[in-house]
A and B are shown apart, each in its own frame.
Chain A
Amino acid sequence: MPCAPYDRWVSDDGDANAEFYRTDSGYLMRFPDQADFAIPTGLQGADCFPVSGMTADALRTLFTNSVRPAVGNHIGELNLHGSGVVIGDKAVAIMGQSRRGKTTLAGAFAKAGHPFLTEDVLALDQQNGAYTVDPQLPVLRVFGDSAAYLLDAAPEEHCADTKSALAANATLPAAEEAAPLAAICVLGPGEASEVTLSTLGRAAALSEIMRHGFLLDVEDKARLHAHFARVAQLAAAVPCLSLDYPREFSKLPDVIRAVQRHLEQI
């Protein structure tokens, strides 16, 4: 295996969340201190090599939320990084950089009676120019303060520094069926003093959505070109909104109302 990866997914802190290597038999996705996934050139399955102590649930999450969508995009699917909820009978996708509150917002929607479709992977199907979002694992993984808010629990009941996995239930419902995608919300940095929601131009939307794809091989120009074309088609078909708000739990009901109102006008 080459000693240098050809691509990395890097966190805001500069740490590598994933590294991509070429091997004699295909690709290797390395999640440092967690697991390696060897993916054959033919993309039929993946072999997992976990580090000691990794749980089956953690490995399943890595595969479902990172390996599977990257391989899917490589073969022509459209999987994007983000959460999603169902409002009425329409899906709303929530995208944004890491730690901007995508999962917490999806949970807040669910708490308000709008089921969540996914916490991390927007698996999109396109037919005749319309898109649907497929439901994923019915789990929300959030940090302690968000878990306490979503469960109406005392903050000290959840560790602030680690994520809790909240399974869907009656008060945090998950959608069981795909829903037509009506809008994409891109979360801002949280600098707004009040809830702000504005429509992004199509070109800006394309650039923004491109940031949130899962690419197995960024050096494969033909596939990168094809992915760009698929995202351009999505940006042309679905309204994309810029959403920002103070990151205070007390503001989340206002955010939900603003998105609902906007959706009614689409």
Chain B
Amino acid sequence: MQPHDLIAASPNAVARNIGGETVLLHLDSGTYFGLNGVGSFIWSRIEKEPHSLAALADAVEAEFDVTRDEALKDITALAQNLDEQGLLKDN
């Protein structure tokens, strides 16, 4: 995945924020996926509309104590993981 790639939540995923974390349920497979605080922050954005990885890294840098490079690296890994689980909308 590249920084300019857009990602959005799959319509087949439902989420519940609970105790500061987010649990995702994939409605097709019935599997669950947990997100920590930063992951929840990202999910809350891509649930509403598509965002580029770069824009998400900017938002995470502004909100959390992390450098932009670190944020971009972590977000890219998270996005790949979500994609593998079928939790991102197909492009």
Q: Which residues of A contact B (CB under 8 A)?
A: 201-204, 206-207, 210, 218, 221, 224-225, 228-229, 232, 235-236
Name the contact of B25 in the complex, choosing from A201, A202, A204, A210 (C-beta under 8 A).
A210
> Are B32 and A207 neighbours in the complex by a CB distance under 8 Å?
yes
A218 to B25 Cα, complex, angstroms: 12
Chain B residues with CB under 8 Å of A225's CB are 14, 25, 27
A204 to B16 Cα, complex, angstroms: 12
Q: How far is the CB of B63 from chain A (nearest CB, A)?
A: 20
Q: How far is the CB of B39 from chain A (nearest CB, A)?
A: 11
A207 to B26 Cα, complex, angstroms: 12
> Are A203 and B27 neighbours in the complex by a CB distance under 8 Å?
no
B1 at the interface (CB under 8 A from A): no
- A sample of 9 cross-chain residue pairs with beta-carbon separation below 8 angstroms, ordered by A number, consists of A203-B19, A203-B22, A206-B16, A206-B32, A218-B30, A221-B28, A228-B16, A232-B18, A232-B23
Q: Which residues of B contact A (CB under 8 A)?
A: 12, 14, 16, 18-19, 21-23, 25, 27-28, 30, 32, 34
Instruction: From B16, B21, B28, B34, name the one whose CB has the most chain A CB atoms within 10 angstroms.
Output: B16
Q: Count how many pairs of residues, one from A and one from B, have CB atoms less than 8 Å apart in the complex.
A: 41
> Are A202 and B18 neighbours in the complex by a CB distance under 8 Å?
yes
> Are A202 and B19 neighbours in the complex by a CB distance under 8 Å?
yes
Chain B residue at smallest Cβ distance from A229: B16
Chain B residues with CB under 8 Å of A235's CB are 18
A204 to B28 Cα, complex, angstroms: 21
Name the contact of B34 in the complex, choosing from A207, A218, A228 (C-beta under 8 A).
A207
Chain A residues with CB under 8 Å of B18's CB are 202-203, 206, 232, 235-236
> Are B30 and A203 neighbours in the complex by a CB distance under 8 Å?
no
Name the contact of A228 in the complex, choosing from B14, B19, B28 (C-beta under 8 A).
B14
